[in-house]
């Protein structure tokens, strides 16, 4: 199920390469690689940006990791990718925005699809 493309908060500068900080440069490189559809590289740069404190990087990283889980990635299981994506999304500074909630909901749906592929019922919530 495709997710609506993420868009930054219009009231906040994008914080990409133009902001000149290391985190901004890392984020900008993540955006570049994501546009080029090199999700492995994009994830690496978004991870560096998130670790450096970029406010939007955790959300982008979670979204990219979810897409990688859907398409497969050599050496890393879909479950591991989804678990990391969920950690980044749930810990994102803007985790309560509509875009973040949509990404988190999409990640939960991915977890359920992955469980169905394994033939395992997801544990009941609560």
Segment among 26-35, 66-75, 111-120 with least mean pLDDT: 111-120
Asked if the 19-118 domain carries CATH number 3.20.20.140, the reply is no
Chain mean pLDDT for the chain? 78
Give the pTM.
Answer: 0.71
For residue 76, the cross-strand partners are 73
The rounded distance, in Å, linking the Cα atoms of 58 and 94 is: 9
Contact predicate 22/37, CB 8 Å: no
Q: Within a 10 A sphere around the Cβ of 52, how many other Cβ atoms? A: 15
Domain residue extents for the chain? 19-118
Q: Counting beta carbons within 10 angstroms of the beta carbon of residue 23, is it exposed (0 to 12), middle (13 to 18) or buried (19 or more)?
A: buried
Residue 94 has pLDDT above 50, yes or no: yes
pLDDT tens, position by position, 22-53: 999 999 999 999 999 999 999 999 999 999 99
Question: Which whole number is the average pLDDT over 49-64?
Answer: 91
């Amino acid at each position: 199920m495709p997710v609506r493309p993420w868009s930054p908060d219009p009231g906040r500068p994008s914080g990409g390469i133009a902001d000149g900080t290391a985190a901004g440069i890392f984020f900008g490189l993540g955006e570049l690689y994501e546009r080029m559809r090199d999700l492995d590289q994009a994830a690496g740069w978004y991870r560096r940006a998130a670790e450096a404190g970029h406010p939007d990087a955790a959300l982008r990283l979670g979204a990219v990791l979810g897409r990688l889980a859907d398409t497969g990635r050599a050496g890393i299981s879909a479950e591991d990718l989804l678990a990391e994506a969920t950690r980044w999304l749930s810990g994102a500074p803007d985790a309560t925005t509509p875009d973040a909630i949509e990404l988190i909901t999409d990640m939960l749906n991915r977890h359920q699809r992955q469980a169905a592929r394994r033939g395992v019922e997801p544990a009941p919530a609560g």
